Amino acid sequence: MKIQPPRRTPENEQKLMVLYSLARLGPCTELQLLRFLFEHDLLNYFEMMFALNDLCDRGQAARTKKNAGFLYQITDAGREALALFGGRVPMSLKTLLDETEAEWKNRFRQETQCRQQIVQTDRGEYELNLSVVEQDMDMLRLSLSLPTRELADRLAKRWPEKAGEIYDTVIRILTEDEA
């Protein structure tokens, strides 16, 4: 009896699978994308990373620094590639995403949250509590004492867009003198 090696998905098909997944699932971290692809036995880590890197090099996907990792999303060039070659995306992947897209998006949203809470203190000041939570783990907690509710509201509103930059800055400053 001759043993057959496992079927290997062609590289172009791997790239289309990653691109299609990004288009349907929206921006996600490499860990989120890997969980989706791996749980459904579509691609392994190395196949996904080679595809992602090539898609980023070609401008079909974009990689943005986010907290402790990267966020990947499809670009206009990626959408154009899907428009041209989307017929080559396996029907099983299309069906899978039709059935599970909402569930996966909700799961991703719950995993990464920028939380903010404003509490008025006994002294009349406002305490602004900010945190970045990934997979139920606090990545960063910050508490600020502020003189007005208006200032607390303004800072809380900007927290989601600035949290990653603040996290990176804190880590950089705290590790500067180690070198």
Instruction: Clarify whether residues 172 and 84 are in a common domain.
Output: no
Domain span holding position 87 = 11-110
Tell me the C-alpha distance between 91 and 42, whole Å: 12
* Percent of the chain's residues with pLDDT above 70: 91
Residue 55 has pLDDT above 70, yes or no: yes
pLDDT (mean) for 119-145: 89
**What is the model's pLDDT at position 72?**
93
- Report the chain's C-alpha Rg in angstroms: 21
Report DSSP state, residue 66. Answer: E
Instruction: Clarify whether residues 132 and 104 are in a common domain.
Output: no
Q: Is residue 145 part of a domain?
A: yes
What strands lie across the sheet with 126-134, from one edge to the other? Answer: 112-120, 126-134, 137-146
**97-106, 115-124, 130-139, 141-150, range with the lowest pLDDT:** 130-139
Instruction: Clarify whether residues 121 and 142 are in a common domain.
Output: yes
